[in-house]
Structures are given as C-alpha cells and as structure tokens.
C-alpha cells in the first residue's frame, strides 16, 4: 500500500495517494492522519488530489438537501452539542411533530429550492407511535406530489420501525455517529456509540441507504476524526454529512472557538480519501467555519444543505446557487414528476 512518506516530492505526494485510491486501494489510518496534519504548503495539492477522487465518482454534480425540523426540543437525551437536549438552556422553539400541511409546505419549498432530498427530522430519543404514523402517512404523498427522495432522522430505531419506514417509501435514514467510539462518552451519556451503530444496522437490514456522519469541533483529537471516518467506511455508509460545530449559547459547548477553515477542508479531504464512493455533504456550520473557503469545500464534497439547519440559519439559497454556478458545477435535482421513479 502506498505511503505518503514514501514519496519525497510534496508536489506529487497526495496525487500519488489519490491514484492508489482510484486504483482500488484503501488508505491506512496513519495515512488518513497525515492528511489532517498536512502543511499549508501542501494544501492546494491535497485539494487537487481529493478533487480527482470526487470527480471520478460524482463528476461536477452537486446534490442539494433541504432539512425540515419536524419536531423541535422536548428531547430527553443529553447530547452536549445540541440546543434541543434536556441539558440545553438555548431559547429555541419547542413543538411536537408538525401537521400534514406544514410538512407538505416544507416539501414544496424543498422542490422549489432545487433539492433532490427532503430530510424530515424529529427530536427525541426514538419516535413514538404517533410520530411513526405521521411519517408513514406523509412520505407517500410527498413522493407522489414532488418526486423527492426522503431521508428520515427520527432517533434510535428498532428493527420493526426500520421495516415500517422502508415500506412507507423512505429512501435513507440519517443517524450520525457524531464522533469516535472512544470520544463518545464526552459528548453524550444517555445513549452509547453502539446504540447508534445498532440503529444503522437495523436500517441496512431493512433495505434502506445509510446517511451518517459526524461533528468536528467537540474537543476530539485528530485521531478521533480518523476513527469516525473508518467507522463510517466499515458500515459502507452511502451519504456522509460532515458538520462543523456551531456553538450555541445555552449548551455545554457554547464557548467553542471558530475552527481553522483550512483544517475543515483537510477533514473533508480525509473523509473523501477514506470513503471515496460515498456522497460527502458539507453540513451544519459550513458558513461559520469555512467562511470564504466554502467554494473550495465543493471540490471535495458533492452535496450541501440549502436553507436553514435545525435551530441555526444557513446562508441564502441564491448564494449557494451562485457558488455552484461560478465553480462550473451543476445541481442534481429531484425527479421531474410523480410518474418518474426517484433516482
């Protein structure tokens, strides 16, 4: 297996590693760590090498996701990063699952904003029966009306719940690992890393795609970011949202500093090298932490959220459209109509 340190020229080191990935080789944990530890002098070369991998599997396409916070707050979990957790004092809206009309309005807006996937997210440890039935009822109607793919993020799922979501037409389920197994107890104590893995296994067994990623900026070591990337690889996750912690007043992580934008790009590059065929999404916190380097991120990732996040604002959709157009990329939109099968 090719090692970056075996190539003396910093001009070709990352392109040689990219070539080995494109030839079907897997990089090692030490190689992944070396990406995170690369110098600023290597940064553009690393970016170009990661783009070779991105282009091989996704060309110049960008997928847009639209996120609907379908139930806010009221969560019994103690996830330290989350404004909706039981230990958060953040002044956020709190409401039970939205009505059919509001969920359909969200789907309409998702389609208008050129999204291919509509993400229905509810807070809480796990969905109750009322919430499950609401999702089962609304998903077929959304797909008939707007031809959107559906990603459901409902918390911990058991085997039966996963099968019901599949039967309702849900395409993928989001359940983030968030960090490494070793670091998990530092960010949450009310459930475990293994609880999350079990949910993803139920989703896979039910025949749906996996959407799972993590959050950078929660006091983890670089080795934790690498371990998270390899855990996602071992699960063969199809869609990886990489978040950069948006510190929210009232949460235990409220004093988090701004992340180095170049380090954020390095993390995206490492994720691309480790998971070359996975859709990679620049998720929450991109506006805050990547700042003026956001366009560089799309040379590595091939997906973004358009619009707002759960309890924080994103930038205006027009800014995203302009960025994508200026890069010479193209948006992969939803299906043309209800008769056309979702892709």
Residues 270-312 pLDDT 10s: 999 999 999 999 998 898 899 999 999 999 999 999 876 555 6
**Whether 269 contacts 46, CB under 8 Å:** yes
> Chain centroid to CA 239: how far?
7
Task: State residue 48's pLDDT score.
Answer: 97
Q: How confident is the model at residue 8 (pLDDT cuts 50, 70, 90)?
A: very low
CA separation for the pair 56, 58 (Å, rounded): 6
Residue 332: strand pairing partners: 63
* 3-state class (DSSP) for residue 287: helix
Q: What is the DSSP letter of 189?
A: S
Determine how many CB atoms are found less than 10 A away from the CB of residue 174.
Answer: 23
Contacts of 180 (CB under 8 A, 6+ apart): 193, 220, 223, 224, 225, 227, 228, 231
Q: Where in the chain is the domain with CATH 3.20.20.70?
A: 55-332
Contact 75, 128 (CB under 8 A): no
Over residues 4-31, mean pLDDT: 81
pLDDT of residue 25 exceeding 60: yes
Q: What positions carry a catalytic annotation?
A: 75, 79, 82, 119, 151, 211, 281
pLDDT at 335: 45
- β-pairing, 172-174 vs 209-211, is parallel
**The CATH number, out of the four listed (2.170.150.70, 3.20.20.70, 3.20.20.80, 3.40.50.2030), of the domain defined by the range 55-332:** 3.20.20.70
- Biggest CA pair distance of the chain: 61
Q: What is the pTM for the complete model shown?
A: 0.91
pLDDT in tens, 98-130: 999 999 999 999 999 999 999 999 999 999 999
């Amino acid at each position: 297996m090719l090692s970056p340190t075996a190539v003396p020229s910093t001009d070709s080191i990352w392109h040689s590693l990219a070539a080995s990935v494109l030839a079907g080789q897997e990089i090692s944990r030490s190689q992944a760590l070396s990406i995170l530890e690369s110098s600023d002098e290597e940064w553009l070369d690393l970016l170009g090498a990661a783009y070779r991998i991105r282009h091989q599997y996704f060309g110049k396409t960008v997928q847009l996701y639209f996120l609907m916070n379908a139930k806010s707050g009221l969560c019994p979990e103690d996830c330290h990063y989350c404004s909706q957790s039981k230990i958060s004092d953040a002044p956020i809206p709190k409401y039970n699952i939205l009505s059919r009309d509001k969920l359909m309005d969200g789907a309409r807006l998702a389609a208008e904003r050129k999204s291919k996937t509509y993400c229905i997210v509810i807070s809480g440890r796990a969905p109750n029966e009322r919430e499950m039935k609401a999702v089962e009822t609304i998903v077929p109607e959304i797909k008939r009306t707007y031809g959107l793919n559906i990603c459901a993020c409902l918390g911990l799922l058991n085997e039966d719940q996963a099968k019901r979501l599949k039967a309702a037409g849900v395409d993928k389920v989001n359940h983030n690992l968030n960090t490494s197994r070793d670091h998990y107890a530092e960010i949450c104590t009310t459930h475990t890393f293994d609880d999350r893995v079990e949910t993803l296994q139920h989703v896979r067994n039910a025949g749906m795609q996996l959407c799972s990623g993590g959050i950078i900026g929660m006091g983890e070591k670089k080795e934790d970011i690498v371990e998270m990337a390899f855990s996602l690889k071992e699960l063969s996750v199809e869609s990886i949202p990489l978040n950069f912690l948006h510190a929210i007043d009232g949460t235990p992580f409220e004093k988090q500093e701004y992340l180095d934008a170049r380090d954020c790009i390095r993390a995206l590059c490492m994720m691309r090298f480790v998971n070359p065929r996975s859709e990679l999404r620049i998720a929450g916190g991109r506006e805050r932490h990547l700042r003026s380097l956001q366009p560089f991120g799309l040379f590595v990732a091939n997906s973004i959220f358009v619009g707002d996040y759960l309890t924080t604002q994103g930038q205006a959709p027009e800014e995203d459209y302009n960025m994508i157009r200026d890069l010479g990329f193209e948006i992969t939109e939803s299906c043309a109509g209800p008769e056309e099968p979702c892709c």
